[in-house]
A = this chain, B = another copy of it.
Amino acid sequence: MTGESKLKETYASSGVQIKKAEAFVERIKSTAKRNQHQQMWRGAGGYASVYGMTEDTAVAVTTDGVGTKLLVAHALGKFDTLGIDLVAMCANDLICVGATPNLFLDYFAVGKLNDKVADDIIAGIVEGCDRAGMILAGGETAEMPGVYEPDHFDLAGFAVGSVSKSSLITGEKIKAGQKVIAVASTGIHSNGLSLARRVLPESQWADILEPTAIYVKPVLQLLNRFAGKITGIVHITGGGWRNLLRLQPSVGFSVTKSLAVPDSLQRIAQSVETAEMYKTFNMGMGLAITVDSDDEAMLEIFKEAGHHAAFAGEVSDRAGVVEISGFDFVLEDKLKD
């Protein structure tokens, strides 16, 4: 679609009703509230729920899928990286609460089991577990003729981590003036694929299959070396940069220096309004970290692990608003717009 005027494609026009899905998540949270329990250090709705097993040690748990990245893999007949995405989506959520990822379980449901596809998917999951330092602790393989077409499948991941009370990161210490570290994404990661598939011709899909970066090892090093300086960790997933607003409602963000936008996202941007891009995709920033420090050594940790990272802006006092230098729009809370 290069050269055409912007199509004003939105995530909604690609068939995903994100507001409806989020209103549903809100209903789940209210339904589940009556089950709240004093051992529940952090309930549903954040990146991971945290449940105290002992006075000082908790498990952090989360679940995720890879969305319609499945359909990209299916179209290209390439299945050996989806498992990396699946682990990444869960492991990167666990580190957002300061947890060390320990265990991974997969749910793999198919119409009819195809050994080659299944082996490729498991190989990807094992590779993802290695990158995240996790044990593949089990899984369920369900063959469901009639639910899925014979050569279609779905994947869900479930991850368990551990965190001590003093290491838990909640975002409550995020304050205006703190710095924001942006860690580079490796591409589209695993969100916004419905829109990407709609606007990119299939000949350009190879790039969007690039697996999601797994940030576990450098983040654990960062937490170890700079304990107390890290106030918030944000995995940029569905909702794009609006994820920055998830942790602390009393602040906003001012991003003054962006990382390079991956080629695949630049191509999508030829058909999609810029504001919609930042509301949907990671735009080059796979992980954001708010820090009470400007120590460049923090960036070195990511560089040594193969991830570009930079100081990209500051926490602002404009509550609930993300401003990005050079653009005249702002981003607000996902449920608002």
Contact = CB atoms under 8 A, between A and B. Distances in A.
Contacts of A145: 14-16, 68, 194
A27 B138 contact: no
A224 interface: no
Contact of A21 (B141, B147, B158): B141
A118 interface: yes
A63 interface: yes
Interface in A127-154: 129-130, 134-148, 152, 154
Contact of A158 (B43, B61, B194): B61
Contact of A160 (B28, B126, B160): B160
A70 B142 CA distance: 12
Interface residues of A, number: 75
A44 interface: yes
Nearest to A129: B35
Interface string A53-73: 110010101111101101100
A118 B21 CA distance: 10
A126 B30 CA distance: 11
Contacts of A39: 102
A24 B141 contact: yes
B43 A137 contact: yes
Pairs of residues from A and B, 9 with the lowest C-beta to C-beta distance, nearest first: A15-B145, A107-B156, A158-B158, A49-B137, A32-B136, A44-B138, A63-B105, A35-B135, A49-B138
Interface of A: 14-17, 20-21, 24-25, 27-28, 31-32, 35-37, 39-40, 43-45, 48-49, 51, 53-54, 57, 59, 61-65, 67-68, 70-71, 102-103, 105-107, 109, 112-113, 115, 118-119, 122-123, 126, 129-130, 134-148, 152, 154, 156, 158, 160, 162, 194, 197
